[in-house]
Amino acid sequence: MHANKFGSFFVLTLAVSIALAVCAITPGKVTAGGAPSFSGAANLKGTVHFEGTVPKPKPINMAADPSCAKQHSAPVYLQEVMTDSKGDLQNVIVFISQGLGDRRFDPPTQPVTVEQKGCMYVPHVLAVQANQPLHVVNEDPTSHNIHPTPANNREWNKAEPPGSTMDESFAREEIAIPVKCNLHPWMHGFVAVFKHPYFAVTGKDGSFDLTGLPPGTYTIKAWHEKLGTATQTITIGANESKEISFVFKAAM
């Protein structure tokens, strides 16, 4: 009787120990909604700043398509280097480039939308996860031809009549894919594709926020279409919040 009780207790203890060990070594998984399922998630936020004289924006001539030109009552410029009055830099993609190991992340089912509006791509720069739906909308009274030119993904080139929509996706990580319109040569944008959800595109105030990070040491990169890439390495602990900043400088 005592031997049976001892044996049962030993088996139960061993099972609990194995279960705890498996939980300890199993990496966190991000669900389709992008929210981490693990405990102890950390948060990283910061800003990107431009230092020096901001390049003068180049004007766009839309005279080739009057339906485009008449949508703008003021001059329109290329969106290459955009800052606010304090030098905060917009349209910078900030992301984890190393440190996540072999963790796998399901792509969100919710699409990211890019509009063709005023014969411009809105937003100019966006980011998605691999295999996340990209919803493309033509809000203009004229046709467009959306044409991404990737190096590591399938290239596609599709006409979009006024008021139409389409859905596409990219299967592999690539930072970043140029997008053009074959009918309007001034229309340019970028789509960055990631195999994880830890990325952000800076807004008008140059800020970014990477939430729900597993604790660890990471290489963080900031990418800009004209100014190149800046890199930092950070270590962040469980439930920790950190702030960092990136600075891009004007070419000498």
- Both tokens of 169, joined, read 């996706």
pLDDT of residue 77: 96
pLDDT of residue 39: 80
Query: How many Å apart are CA 130 and CA 68, to the nearest integer?
Result: 32
The reply to whether CATH 3.40.50.970 applies to domain 30-249 is: no
- Residues 143 and 181: beta-carbon distance below 8 Å: no
The model carries a pTM of: 0.84
- Both tokens of 138, joined, read 């033509």
Query: How many Å apart are CA 212 and CA 44, to the nearest integer?
Result: 9
| Residue 148 binned pLDDT confidence (cut-offs 50, 70, 90) | very high
- Both tokens of 175, joined, read 């930072």
Cα distances (angstroms) measured from residue 96 to each of 121, 173, 219, 231, 233: 26, 12, 6, 10, 10
Q: Indicate if the pLDDT at residue 168 is higher than 50.
A: yes
Domain boundaries in the chain? Answer: 30-249
- Both tokens of 23, joined, read 């939980």
